[in-house]
Amino acid sequence: MQIYLPIAELSVNLFFLVGIGGAVGFLSGLFGVGGGFLLTPLLIFSGVPASVAVASVTGQVVAASTSGALSHYRRGGIDLHLAMYLVLSGILGAVGGVAVFAMLRDAGQLDLVISVGFLVLLGSVGVLMLVESTRSLLKARKGIVVRERLPNQHNWIHGLPMRVRFKKSRLYISVLPVLGIGLFIGFVGSLLGIGGGFIMVPALVYLLRVPGSMVIGTSLAQVVAMMAATTMLHAVQSQSVDIMLAFCLMVGGTVGAQFGASAGKYLRGEQLRGLLALLVLAVAIRFGLSLVLTPSDVFSMAVQGIRQ
C-alpha cells in the first residue's frame, strides 16, 4: 500500500515505513537509545531527501523517547534539575546546528559533513563502548565483582568553578561541563538528525559521574525536550518536517520499542552494551566506506532553496 508524503513529495510503501520504524524502535527499546542514528541513514538510502529525513526523524525520536521517559519519571529516575541545564544549553546548540545545516545544504557539503560526523562520533563512541563492555564481560567471567559506581573518584571536571548542587543525583559539580555537554549534543543532534542518547549516556556516566539509576531517565528526558525543540526549529527554518513520514515512523517505533524493552530483560548490561557498540561501529564503518570507496556515481543533483 503506497502512501504519499506531502513534504518529501513522493510515495513510499506504508508497510516499509512502519516496518523500519518498528525494527529501529525494537533496537532503541532494547538498548535505551533513540535510534535516530539508524533511521536517518535508512531513510536517505530509500530515496527520501536528506533534509526531509533528518528533520522528520527528530519528530520520531521524540515519540520513541517519550514512553521511556514517562516510565522513568514515574519511578523517580529523572533528575529534572540536571535535565533542565542540559536542555537549555542543548536548545542553544540546536539553533546553531539548524543554521549550519541550512548553510551546508546550500553549499553542497551536507552529505560530507553527515558522513564524517557519523564516522567520527559513532566510531569513537563505538570503540570506547566495545572496549569497556568486553573488559567487564571478561571480568565477570573471571568472577571479579565490579563496583557499579565510583563515587569518590573525582577527575579534573570536578575542580571547575560555578558549582551547583544536583540533589537527586547527589552531585555537587560545576555547571560548565553540564552546559558544554548540552551545547555539543544539541549542535550535533540537530545537524545529524540523532537524539544523541548514545553520547549523552557515556558523558553523564564517565564525565559527570551521575549515578546509574538516574542516567537513562535523565538522558531520555533531555532527548525528548531537545528533539521537540529541534523539530520546531526544522519546521520553521527549513520547512522540511514531513508529518506523515514522522507519524508512520512513530507508530512503528513506539510499538517496536515496547517489544525491545521486554527483550532487553533477557540480556545482561554488559552484553547489551557490547551489542550496541557493534551496531554503532557497523554504522560508522558504513559511513567511512562511503567516504573512501569510489562512489558508483561521481555526479549527484539537488534542488536549491525552499520549495514553493
Closer to other proteins by CB, 103 or 236: give it: 236
Residue with cell 566495545: 130
Burial state string for 241-259 with b = 16 or more CB within 10 A and e = fewer than 16: bbebbbbbbbbbbbbbbee
Site for other proteins in 55-114 (CB under 8 A): 59-60, 62-68, 70-71, 108-109, 111-112
Residue with cell 575542580: 159
Please say whether the beta carbons of 63 and 253 come within 8 A: yes
In whole angstroms, what is the distance from residue 221 CA to residue 73 CA? 9
Contact between 134 and other proteins per CB under 8 A? no
Q: Binder to other proteins among 15, 16, 206, 247 (CB under 8 A)? A: 247
User: x/- site string to other proteins, residues 216 to 245, per CB under 8 A?
Assistant: --------x---x--xxxxxx--x-x-xx-
CB of residue 207 to other proteins, shortest distance in Å: 28
Site for other proteins in 158-217 (CB under 8 A): none
In whole angstroms, what is the distance from residue 174 CA to residue 215 CA? 18
Residue 75 DSSP class:
T
Closer to other proteins by CB, 109 or 155: give it: 109
In whole angstroms, what is the distance from residue 162 CA to residue 2 CA? 55
In whole angstroms, what is the distance from residue 12 CA to residue 47 CA? 9
Contact between 3 and other proteins per CB under 8 A? yes
Closer to other proteins by CB, 106 or 150: give it: 106
Contact between 300 and other proteins per CB under 8 A? yes
Contact between 308 and other proteins per CB under 8 A? yes
In whole angstroms, what is the distance from residue 48 CA to residue 87 CA? 29
CB of residue 134 to other proteins, shortest distance in Å: 30
Contact between 144 and other proteins per CB under 8 A? no
In whole angstroms, what is the distance from residue 81 CA to residue 218 CA? 9
CB of residue 62 to other proteins, shortest distance in Å: 4
CB of residue 131 to other proteins, shortest distance in Å: 26
Residue 202 DSSP class:
H
Interacting residue ranges for other proteins, rule: CB under 8 A: 1-4, 6-7, 9-11, 59-60, 62-68, 70-71, 108-109, 111-112, 224, 228, 231-236, 239, 241, 243-244, 246-247, 250-251, 254-255, 257-258, 291-295, 297-305, 307-308
